[in-house]
Amino acid sequence: MKKLWKMMMTAGVVLLLAACGTTGESDDSQTGSNNESKEIVAGAVVPSLIKSEVGAHQYVFQLKNDTEKDVTLTMNSAQFFDYQLMDENGDVLYKDSENKMYTQMLQESVLKPGETLEMAVDASEGLASLENGTYTLEVWSTAEEAEDWKVSEEITWEGATATTLSDAKLKVEEEVVTYNGRQDLNSIEVVNEQNEIEAMRLAEVARPFFDDLESKVKIRVFYVIIDGQKVIQSAELE
């Protein structure tokens, strides 16, 4: 029987689980930036938004488990977060989920103490439809357990050009490879079509497909390239 893991998600959305070590004493001299929560509350899940080095108007939305116990995040679809762009009056001009369709499926992600869930946010798609100006980017978690896990960032937009319009979405590519096995929770090793060994990263939503997958089988992977690395969004057996 052909095993198929279908995922439809924002191409700019790539989910990575990054272990941030164990919790320790906080540095009282450290100050938060505007794109983080105003206060770090002990025993809470802390949201933050940082600029990505991938390109202009690319961000990483983070949820850090700042508690002493596991935190389970439950999603009813492949959507892990949402974002919107607002003008200076607070009027919503673009909401990402209104322009997307997501696979309806129950998903859970467990954050251990000190771990951070990272989600890539591509704001360029929403900005491409707007005139030049200053906007507020607001990002929040769609997990059922979310307790106002929301952050915002002011963006200066100089207007769309032919380049930004064509690059507004990450291109989803596909390739048939031979699966060698897992390197770690977020990476696999494959033999590509050029018979070369290659490492590929896994988006959060793609990981379950590989949990019980035997090695040396041919699979078709669907991926986007982020920071020069192939990140698998979904896969199926050949």
Mean pLDDT of 98-122: 80
- Statement: residue 29 has pLDDT above 50: no
- The mean pLDDT value for 60-71 works out to 90
Model-level pTM greater than 0.75? Answer: no
Report pLDDT for 8. 36
Nearest partner of 50 among 31, 67, 63, judged by Cα:
63
Q: What is the pLDDT of residue 186?
A: 79
For the segment 178-192, what is each residue's pLDDT rounded down to a tens digit? Answer: 999 988 777 899 999
Name the range with the highest mean pLDDT among 82-91, 150-159, 182-191.
82-91
Q: Label residue 198 by pLDDT band (50, 70, 90).
A: very high
Mean pLDDT of 128-154: 89
Neighbours of 4 (CB within 10 A): 11
Q: Which residues pair with 10 in a beta bridge?
A: none
- pLDDT score for 33: 41
Judge whether residue 235 has pLDDT over 60. Answer: yes
pLDDT at 1 over 70: no
Cβ–Cβ under 8 Å, residues 153 and 35: yes
**pLDDT classification of 102: cutoffs 50, 70, 90:** low
């995040």: which residue's tokens? Answer: 73
Per-residue pLDDT at 34 exceeds 90: no
The β-bridge partners of 104 are 77
Q: What is the pLDDT, as a whole number, of residue 189?
A: 93
Q: What average pLDDT score do residues 30-37 get?
A: 42
How far is the C-alpha of 85 from the C-alpha of 94, rounded, in Å?
5
Supply 75's token pair. Answer: 């999603």
Determine whether 170 is exposed, middle or buried from the number of CB atoms within 10 Å of its CB (0-12, 13-18, 19+).
Answer: buried
Q: Which domains does the chain have, with CATH numbers?
A: 4-166 (2.60.40.2360), 173-237 (2.40.50.320)
Residue corresponding to tokens 């095993």: 3
Q: 132 near 159, Cβ under 8 Å?
A: yes
Is residue 114 within 8 Å of residue 12, measured between CB atoms?
no
Average the pLDDT over 140-164 and give the result: 79
Cα–Cα distance for residue pair 224/107, rounded to 1 Å:
21
Residue 13, pLDDT score: 39
pLDDT confidence tier of residue 57, bands split at 50, 70 and 90 = confident
pLDDT beyond 50 at 71? yes
Number of alpha carbons in the 13 Å side-chain half-sphere of residue 12: 24
Q: Is residue 165 pLDDT above 70, yes or no?
A: no
